[in-house]
Amino acid sequence: MSIVEKAAEKLKSLQPEPPAPRLEEPEVAVLPRVEGPTVERLQERIRTVDEPAGKAGQPWHVDQHALQRAGLLPVEDEAGGRLADEVRRAKRPLLDNLGRADMNGPARAERIMVTSSVPGEGKTFTAVNLALSLAREPDFEVLLIDADIPKSDITRVLGLEGKPGLMELLADERLRPANVVVQTDVPNLLVLPAGERHPLAAELFGGQRMEYALEALGVRDRRRLLVFDSSPLLATPESQVLASRMGQIVMVVAAGCTRHHEVNSALNSLTASQYIGLLLNMSRLPAIENHHYSHYSQPSHYLFQDR
């Protein structure tokens, strides 16, 4: 054996044995597609939820006095009765559109979004009263969804702050609607809280998972209506994205307040495929007309004249 061959043999004997091949690769954690510090926080909170919200024990109590104190529900007097009638009138065309789904009615008519051009026009008030009124219909179940992520008034007034909601459902692919939908003690009324604020709310509303969530939230053996409270169309990008996924839009207009060009811009941000109902709110007309409802197939028309 030459010197070179001897050196090679020596070197070989000093090499450590190669490790035995593994039979199984270690499991790789599946990460959700959306990443970032906020999402990590959301996931941390989701891990703390063992039971579907509202299913663990009693249904969630809807505190009607808290809603009244917050100005979101009228007291049960004569004016409250008149408002209930106005809401009844306002819901009728929305219900009629559900029956027209196969004909020339809007697609996805069960997705109803309450919105407005600018803040403070009565969106949350209308969404709450519309949802309660629809829940009294014998053939439907209503899921009231707090999609006003920046304000989350419904979530706060119902005492659902800190619970996972729409944002968590969209940010974590492992989460199912049953983990976040809250069963309430109002017959046929469920609530989906907003969840934690998220800087990418518009992107989440526009993502594929939003469509999955909407399908999953709506599918039931009973007919389920989705009523969305939202932020103003001209104030946040996510509302316009959300509107594009809806079948019906209730556009609240504060009488004598909202400017002509604001309503016009908001209507122009919507697509022509949706049914759009304009609801004239807080008008000084006689009480019976205070919640005046009008509907438009083309968003280029509007209800009132420039001031």
Ligand X SMILES: Nc1ncnc2c1ncn2[C@@H]1O[C@H](COP(=O)(O)OP(=O)(O)OP(=O)(O)O)[C@@H](O)[C@H]1O
Pick 98 or 114: Cβ nearer Mg ion: 114
Task: Identify the residue whose tokens are 């811009």.
Answer: 265
Out of ligand X, Mg ion, none, what residue 281 binds, judged by CB under 5 to 8 A for its kind, is ligand X
Torsion of CA 115, 117, 119, 120, to 10 degrees: -70
Pick 124 or 248: Cβ nearer Mg ion: 124
Name the minimum Å distance from CB 118 to Mg ion.
Answer: 11
| Interface positions with ligand X (CB under 6 A) | 71-72, 116, 119-125, 148, 151, 153, 232, 281-282, 291
Tell me if 194 contacts Mg ion by CB under 5 A: no
Name the minimum Å distance from CB 176 to ligand X.
Answer: 28
Pick 34 or 279: Cβ nearer ligand X: 279
Name the minimum Å distance from CB 199 to Mg ion.
Answer: 20
Name the minimum Å distance from CB 208 to ligand X.
Answer: 28
Q: Are 194 and 149 in contact (CB under 8 A)?
A: yes
Pick 101 or 282: Cβ nearer ligand X: 282
Using only C-alpha atoms, what is the Rg of the chain? 26
With vertex at residue 21, the alpha carbon angle to CA 18 and CA 22, rounded to the nearest 5 degrees, is: 135
Tell me if 129 contacts Mg ion by CB under 5 A: no
Out of ligand X, Mg ion, none, what residue 282 binds, judged by CB under 5 to 8 A for its kind, is ligand X
Q: Are 273 and 104 in contact (CB under 8 A)?
A: no
Out of Mg ion, ligand X, none, what residue 99 binds, judged by CB under 5 to 8 A for its kind, is none
Torsion of CA 122, 125, 127, 133, to 10 degrees: -130
Name the minimum Å distance from CB 256 to ligand X.
Answer: 13
Tokens, residue 225? 């209506």
Query: From CA 268, how far away is CA 261, in angstroms rounded?
Result: 10
Tokens, residue 260? 């002509």
Name the minimum Å distance from CB 205 to ligand X.
Answer: 17
Name the minimum Å distance from CB 118 to ligand X.
Answer: 7
Tokens, residue 241? 């994205």
What is the side-by-side strand order in the sheet with 189-192? 182-183, 189-192, 140-146, 223-229, 111-116, 248-254, 275-281, 292-296
Give the interface segment with Mg ion, choosing from 48-56, 151-159, 160-168, 212-220 (CB under 5 A). 151-159
Closest to 182 (Cα-Cα) out of 61, 304, 22, 307: 61
Task: Indicate the length of the chain as a whole number.
Answer: 307
Tell me if 145 contacts Mg ion by CB under 5 A: no
Out of ligand X, Mg ion, none, what residue 168 binds, judged by CB under 5 to 8 A for its kind, is none
* Position closest to ligand X via CB: 71
Task: Identify the residue whose tokens are 């939820």.
Answer: 49
Tell me if 123 contacts Mg ion by CB under 5 A: yes
Q: How far is CA 141 from CA 33, 134, 210, 230, in A?
A: 32, 8, 21, 20
Pick 116 or 274: Cβ nearer ligand X: 116
Pick 43 or 281: Cβ nearer ligand X: 281
Tell me if 124 contacts Mg ion by CB under 5 A: yes
Out of ligand X, Mg ion, none, what residue 232 binds, judged by CB under 5 to 8 A for its kind, is ligand X
Contacts with Mg ion, residue ranges (CB under 5 A): 123-124, 153
